[in-house]
Amino acid sequence: MMKVFATLLAFLAVANAFAPMPAGRANTQLAESLFDKIFGMDLYAPVKDNNQYGTYKKKGLKAGKLSGNSYVPEGLTKAQYAKLRATEVKKKEANYQKNAKKAGIFEDYTLFYTKRGTDTNAAWKKSPTLGHRMAKTKYDFDTDKFGKVYDGNTK
């Protein structure tokens, strides 16, 4: 056992003698940090206007045309499917334009805050909505389908 250990130790000493010497002190300069990489992306570049409405139109993106090898759902002809895709593109564009009109329009928080009354008293805390404005619904839930006005009775 002792001979095996001595042989192994001698082998390691000889192998270490022929190993290449380190070239000096290792470089300690850090590579670009994760923060620098993220904020260096195009999205955050100050010269670009990537977050503005209509920027995607400058890229020239559009729906592809159907070719001979294009997918067509079962039950539709190629012409029917092309027409369906065209109406979907028009619908998408109309929705985009509707939302683009609302871009950059914000409510003044101070005006909302004073209108709610939070700045002067706590009466808003006693209201059923706790000072929140409720969204409008498509239907009037104050009346049932027979025109009966809801009076709070469950009978």
Q: How far apart are CA 89 and CA 101, in angstroms?
A: 19
Question: Please, are residues 57 and 50 in contact by the beta-carbon 8 Å criterion?
Answer: no
Is 92 part of any domain?
yes
Q: How far apart are CA 1 and CA 40, in angstroms?
A: 61
Closest CA to 82 of 66, 97, 95, 94: 66
Question: Please, are residues 117 and 127 in contact by the beta-carbon 8 Å criterion?
Answer: no
* Plot region of 106 (φ>0 → left; ψ -120 to 50 → alpha; else → beta): beta
Is 97 part of any domain?
yes
- Using the 8-state DSSP alphabet, how is residue 27 labeled? P
Is 129 part of any domain?
no
Give the pLDDT of residue 3. 81
Is 141 part of any domain?
no
Is 15 part of any domain?
no
pLDDT means over runs of 10, the chain (155 residues): 77 70 68 78 60 74 88 94 95 89 79 73 77 69 61 58
Give the pLDDT of residue 144. 61
Is 87 part of any domain?
yes
Is 85 part of any domain?
yes
Total domains present in the chain? 1
pTM of this structure: 0.42
Domain hosting 93: range is 77-102
Q: How far apart are CA 80 and CA 72, in angstroms?
A: 9
Give the pLDDT of residue 24. 67
Task: Enumerate the H helices of 1-155 as residue ranges.
Answer: 2-17, 34-39, 78-101, 109-116
Is 89 part of any domain?
yes
Give the pLDDT of residue 140. 62
